[in-house]
Amino acid sequence: MNVYLLFPSRNADPKQPLPPNADALIQDLELDTLFEAMARGDEYLRTAAKQALLSSLDSPAEILYRQEILRDCLKNPEVVRQIYSLPLQAIDRKHRHWMGIFSHYPSGVLSGALQMLEMFVDLLKTLKQIADEHGAAFESRGFRRFFAMIQQELDDAYFVEVQEHLERLKFREGVLLSAELGMGNQGANYVLRKTAHPARNWIQRILSRKASVYSYTLPMRDEHGARALGELRDQGINLVANAAGQSADHIDSFFAALRLELAFYLGCINLAERLAELGELIAFPAPAAADERVHSFTGLYDACLSLTMKQKAVGNSVNANGKDLVIITGANQGGKSTLLRSIGLAQLMMQCGMFVPAEAFSANLCRGVFTHYKREEDASMTSGKFDEELSRMSAIADLVRADSLVLFNESFAATNEREGSEIARQIVTALLERRVKVYFVTHQYELANGFHQRGMENALFLRAQRQQVDGRRTFQLQEGAPLPTSFGEDLYRKVFE
């Protein structure tokens, strides 16, 4: 049985490595805040959220497949939680009643496998009941296929047959084996046989006529004989024990895959509920192919900021369709870095099949999302701040490829403006020549104005707004040419006057 709730034709790989720049993305986009909201203190959910959010999908079709399933999950959250509880019950029961499935002896393997199978059959019956009662409420292709598989493969006849096999494999009437004599009169070709007579009650067994057979009864304290008899029994049940163990492992793997894939959706449910409590809106984005240049949104806000402040955040609306370069300038503490963070966060959320924190959002896929944010001074003093910036830029250059997205936040400002602007100009120009989308927040007027003077059709210039009367920040960004001031005087007056 396969789950196929994260991908249309395969189960998720729990060992898929994170991208090399995962730590930088987590730090710069403050993803730990998002992970915590999705996990609600559950470390497994947190790991699943981290794995999914940092492992982007490759095509719009895969994104839409997950979006369909996530819509179903948001409409039926309690059913999803009910299904998710089944793998947790399996884990709990395994821990409380451990069995000998890892025994080296066939009898131990068989005994442990039977215990696991009996436990799993009970949980599979519950899953079948959920599918029968709630399957019609789900509309996505993924869930419809999943519930159809459950109803088809786990019908009543299946459970009857499994129960018969489990009862028979307990060998309450002993084990019937056949064997041949091999070299040196050693036993060979051991075969487990089905009993010839049907199951009978104890009265029938006592009153029935015994067949004429040769038999030998071990003495009460014949330990060597008992050991030899046990070895004969293990020889006969070895294949059956292996088959039962593999069956138990197969169902165990199914529940493990179910837990892994539903963990992502349960995290999304938790996040959606938390944002709804704050009065925030969410939207399912419209993804486009990576070679297109689509990027427009309405009411996009920084979900991590909302979760941290525990209140609604200011949203922004931008149309950057057809643009490869977006330069963001304007007033200090006017919302520039917040917008940049919300753009990166929304891109990652879209590319893993999630909703985004916005009223509407559409963007092309990116073949990699990279961040280059300003950092504090190197505490070890092994390098200067500017050297550290260049080192991180070099690492990004080794990984970036066409149709990637790079977010710069006050980069190359650790040196003088002329030198920093020139270095940034050359790096941005090289990235644009390689068809890399660039968003750049900067206070360097020489850098921003230099690109603005070119009159580039594929460039957009946004500016953080401030009230003319009192200098109050609106945290709204609008199209506008770079200004030679960031209105730092406003902040000075606010702090010192």
User: Angle at Cα 264 formed by Cα 258 and Cα 266, nearest 5°?
Assistant: 90
**Of 83, 65, 59, nearest in space to 140 by CA:** 65
Whether residue 360 sits in one domain with residue 260: no
Whether residue 478 sits in one domain with residue 351: yes
* Spatial separation of the C-alpha atoms in residues 173 and 264, rounded to whole Å: 48
Do residues 336 and 329 make contact, with C-beta atoms less than 8 angstroms apart? yes
Task: Indicate whether 474 belongs to any domain.
Answer: yes
* Spatial separation of the C-alpha atoms in residues 183 and 180, rounded to whole Å: 10
Whether residue 394 sits in one domain with residue 335: yes
Whether residue 359 sits in one domain with residue 489: yes
Whether residue 458 sits in one domain with residue 322: yes
First to last CA, the chain: 69
pLDDT of residue 100: 47
- State the number of CA atoms in the 13 A half-sphere of 490 facing the CB: 17
Whether residue 271 sits in one domain with residue 317: no
Q: Which residue has the higher pLDDT, 121 or 4?
A: 4
pLDDT of residue 452: 93
Whether residue 135 sits in one domain with residue 74: yes
297-339 pLDDT tens trace: 999 999 999 999 999 999 999 999 999 999 999 887 888 999 9
Do residues 292 and 364 make contact, with C-beta atoms less than 8 angstroms apart? yes
Task: Indicate whether 76 belongs to any domain.
Answer: yes
Collapsing DSSP to helix, strand or coil, 175 comes out as coil
| DSSP structural state of residue 184 | G
Whether residue 271 sits in one domain with residue 320: no
Whether residue 313 sits in one domain with residue 265: no
Task: Indicate whether 32 belongs to any domain.
Answer: no
Do residues 289 and 60 make contact, with C-beta atoms less than 8 angstroms apart? yes
Whether residue 445 sits in one domain with residue 340: yes
Whether residue 118 sits in one domain with residue 161: yes
Whether residue 273 sits in one domain with residue 290: no
pTM for the model: 0.83
185-206 pLDDT tens trace: 676 766 666 665 555 565 665 5
Task: Indicate whether 79 belongs to any domain.
Answer: yes
Of 227, 260, 277, the domain-final residue? 277
Total domain count, the chain? 2
Domain holding 62, by residue range, is 57-169+251-277
Task: Indicate whether 482 belongs to any domain.
Answer: yes
212-263 pLDDT tens trace: 666 667 777 767 666 766 666 666 555 666 666 667 777 888 889 999 999 9
Collapsing DSSP to helix, strand or coil, 367 comes out as coil
State the DSSP H helix or E strand holding residue 142, giving kind and residue range, or none if neither: helix 141-153
- State the number of CA atoms in the 13 A half-sphere of 213 facing the CB: 6
- Judged against a pLDDT cut of 70, whether residue 493 lies above it is answered with no
Task: Indicate whether 159 belongs to any domain.
Answer: yes
> Largest Cα–Cα distance of the chain, in whole Å?
111
**Of 210, 129, 118, nearest in space to 170 by CA:** 118
- 405, amino acid identity: L
Task: Indicate whether 321 belongs to any domain.
Answer: yes
431-489 pLDDT tens trace: 999 999 999 999 999 999 999 999 899 999 999 886 555 556 677 888 888 887 655 55
Output the domain CATH number for residue 312.
3.40.50.300
Token pair belonging to 23: 């730590």
- Judged against a pLDDT cut of 50, whether residue 81 lies above it is answered with yes
Q: Which residue has the higher pLDDT, 272 or 165?
A: 272
Please provide the average confidence, as pLDDT, over all residues in the chain.
84
Tokens 């709630």: give the residue: 134
> Angle of helix 106-134 relative to helix 141-153, nearest 10 degrees?
120
Burial code (b: 16+ CB inside 10 Å, e: under 16) for 31-65 equals bebbbbbbbeeeeebbbbbbbbbbbbbeebebbbb
